[in-house]
Amino acid sequence: MWSDEPRVNPTAQKPSASALAQMFEPIRDDLHEVEREFARHVQSQVAVIPTIGNYVKESGGKRIRPAVLLMAARLAGYTGDRAVLYASVIEFIHTATLVHDDIIDESELRRGREAAHTRWGNHVTVLFGDFLYLKSMSLALTRDNLEIIRLLCDVTLRIVEGEIYQLTKNGVVELSEEEHFDIVRRKTAYLFAGCAKIGGMLGPATREQQDALWEYGFNIGMAFQLVDDLLDFTGEEGALGKPIGGDLREGKMTLPVIHLLARGDGQADALIRKIVRERDATLDEWRQLRTLLGHTRSIDYAHSAAVGFVERAKRALRAFPRGPERDALIFLPDYVLSRDR
């Protein structure tokens, strides 16, 4: 009988980055190879391109998306070199979205350092993001798997659509929960879903198992973004590497605030509208907002939503037999739920 508990019980461990690294030890060398591939393919005769590429690469990052693809490929029974190639493609796509997001959001920091556009300007940096998108497709086309290329194109288009849709909703205080989830699906969840499914497509996985991996990745992505939304209110600026409360000050309505508006009163409504209108908040206003979020249990509500997606991600892996690869993938949702940055 199937059980959610892997052989190495992750719930008995603190779901920390070190525990995650231990679970994903089998793909450590592959992840290093993804790093090398990124550095190799970001080279150009135009000197500023590798300069920006190396700067962005050195800013760090958890490489969760490539790790999902690599581990899903192993779960599906594949151990060839194409997994590293497609994981590198994913890393190019994800990095391009970050570069463009920072420009659109006018974010001065990325992981505690100057964002690329802060250092090189918007014009150069947006073109660098375009370079990364095109490089990702160029890399994918070095292999002749049209089905995977089609999936990569579809996921990338959904990301861009999500960015455009979010811009049309920027500053809209009346954003509904479903509209917010639609943005999260497009901007975050579909890329995670694509990572997991591509891993399955590389191996001898059945169509049912490929669909299960898509479901797994999709729910991981939803949970990942909801936790990110929560950290905007509960995290520490030093850990996050960016200012706390940035989303609301940028006019982005996230699940805790949407819930507060639905459950709160005129005081909450007036405060949120003021912050969105002025794109700023005093320390007292921020404390007041945090208090209101606590009174309406809006933080708990958003956290419960994230827990629901995590549980759905775990259930999706029932399509596979137990083993170390499935153990690692079952552990990842718990890490996503507990992260502080």
Q: From the CB of residue 282, how many other CB atoms can be counted at a distance below 10 Å?
A: 10
pLDDT score, position 7? 40
Which pTM was predicted?
0.91
39-to-86, 101, 156, 199, 327 alpha-carbon distances in Å: 15, 21, 21, 22, 31
Q: Residues 6 or more apart from 279 whose CB is under 8 A from it?
A: 249, 250, 251
Q: Which stretches within 205-297 are classed as H helix? A: 207-234, 237-240, 246-249, 255-263, 266-278, 283-295
pLDDT score, position 14? 55
The top-level CATH class assigned to 12-338 is mainly alpha
- Say which amino acid occupies 206: T
pLDDT in tens, the chain (341 residues): 233 434 444 344 457 778 888 889 999 999 999 999 999 999 999 999 999 999 998 876 778 999 999 999 999 999 899 999 999 999 999 999 999 999 998 888 877 789 999 999 999 999 999 999 999 999 999 988 999 999 999 999 999 999 999 999 999 999 999 999 999 999 999 999 999 999 999 999 999 999 999 999 999 999 999 999 999 898 775 554 456 678 999 999 999 999 999 998 999 999 999 999 999 999 999 999 999 999 999 999 999 999 999 999 999 999 999 999 999 999 999 999 998 76
Q: From the CB of residue 310, how many other CB atoms can be counted at a distance below 10 Å?
A: 23
Q: Where are the domains of the chain?
A: 12-338
DSSP 275-287: HHHHT---HHHHH
Please, what is the Cα angle at 108 between 46 and 300, to 5 degrees?
130
pLDDT score, position 59? 76
Using CA atoms, how far apart are residues 310 and 230, in angstroms rounded to an integer? 15
User: CA 185, 139, 72, 157: dihedral to nearest 10 degrees?
Assistant: 10
Using CA atoms, how far apart are residues 122 and 125, in angstroms rounded to an integer? 5
